[in-house]
Amino acid sequence: MTVCRIIRIRDGWNKQSEFFLGREGRYRWINTVIREYPMKLYIGNKKYSSWSFRPWLAMRAKEVPFEEVLVPFDMAAGNPAFREFSPTGKVPCLVDGNVTVWESLSILEYVAERYPDRGFWPADKAQRARARSVSSEMHAGFSGLRSECPMNMARKHAPLAVSGQVRKDVQRIEEIWTGCLDASGGPYLFGRFTIADAMYAPVVNRLQIYCLSEAPVVAQYTATLQALDAWRQWEQDGRAEPWIVEEDEA
Ligand SMILES: N[C@@H](CCC(=O)N[C@@H](CS)C(=O)NCC(=O)O)C(=O)O
């Protein structure tokens, strides 16, 4: 019997239909199997990869099913193997069937659309606009803080001599967190956990390990994010990793 399989991959679904070729030369349907398959999130080292941390934390906090694929880097410029799954050669990268999404914020937008009931963004339009603005500000900015103070889940807490640009970045972050938490009443930036919290999560680590802020709002928000089970899991995994990247050890 000649069997023909037609496989259709749609958002999160794999639909496989089987047909056989009858004597009259026509294909006849045998059966159809529909299976849900998990999205794959490619990430880098949990100790250092701040961009990977963002979608991973949000997806875990919102209980979105996904398969984690950790491809470690042992050099500041990543790992040439990232090219095999990521068009930019960078992590994170999300693969959902035949859809590939790169750039942390785009991944979060994609997942928010795929799971519209999980509250990835605030329900209120004005709050959503503000959440998107502060998330984009994080994605595109704070270059002083990002370059001088790498995220490091295993570093001992100790002050670091930093530039005026880093001080300015920290001031602006305190301003954003104060404004959002005052308006929402907390405990997350927009009341419930949203993408905005995921975008600022690596900053929480940076402010803490390099002792960059004594503002009460920072202490309070740090305690909130670090109490998440997802945060604890990531941090524990990061601390257990054997890879040391000298360039990320400030
Ligand atoms: N803008 C990107 C940044 C991604 C990024 O720089 N990822 C780092 C790891 S945290 C990386 O893959 N670096 C490898 C390289 O730069 O070659 C995003 O938001 O995802």
Domains of the chain listed by start with CATH number? 5-34 (no CATH), 39-248 (1.20.1050.130)
3-state class (DSSP) for residue 197: helix
Spatial CB neighbours of 118, under 8 Å, sequence gap ≥ 6: 62, 63, 64, 112
Q: Is the CB of 45 under 6 A from ligand 1?
A: no
- Tallying the residues shown for the chain, one arrives at 250
- Average of per-residue pLDDT values in the chain: 93
Q: For residue 26, how far is its CA from the centre of ligand 1 (angstroms)?
A: 51
Instruction: Please tell me the distance from the alpha carbon of residue 207 to that of residue 44, in angstroms, as a whole number.
Output: 21
Share of the chain above pLDDT 90, in %: 82
- Evaluate whether 57 touches 201 at the Cβ level (below 8 Å): yes
Q: Is the CB of 199 under 6 A from ligand 1?
A: no
Q: In the prediction, which pLDDT does 2 show?
A: 60
- Evaluate whether 165 touches 173 at the Cβ level (below 8 Å): no
pLDDT tens profile 137-160: 999 999 999 999 999 999 999 999
Closest residue CA from atom 12 of ligand 1: 90
Asked if residue 8 has pLDDT above 90, the reply is: no
Q: For residue 91, how far is its CA from the centre of ligand 1 (angstroms)?
A: 5
Q: In the prediction, which pLDDT does 98 show?
A: 87
Sign of CA dihedral 120, 126, 132, 137: negative
- Evaluate whether 92 touches 107 at the Cβ level (below 8 Å): yes
Mean per-residue pLDDT, 58-82: 92
Looking from the CA of 151 toward its CB, the CA atoms found within 13 Å total 24
Mean per-residue pLDDT, 207-213: 98
Q: In the prediction, which pLDDT does 38 show?
A: 85
Could you tell me which residue, 195 or 5, shows the higher pLDDT?
195
Q: In the prediction, which pLDDT does 118 show?
A: 97
Phi, psi of 12 (to 5 degrees): 75, 0
Q: Which segment of 15-19, 200-204, 229-233 scores lowest on mean pLDDT?
A: 15-19
- Evaluate whether 139 touches 50 at the Cβ level (below 8 Å): no
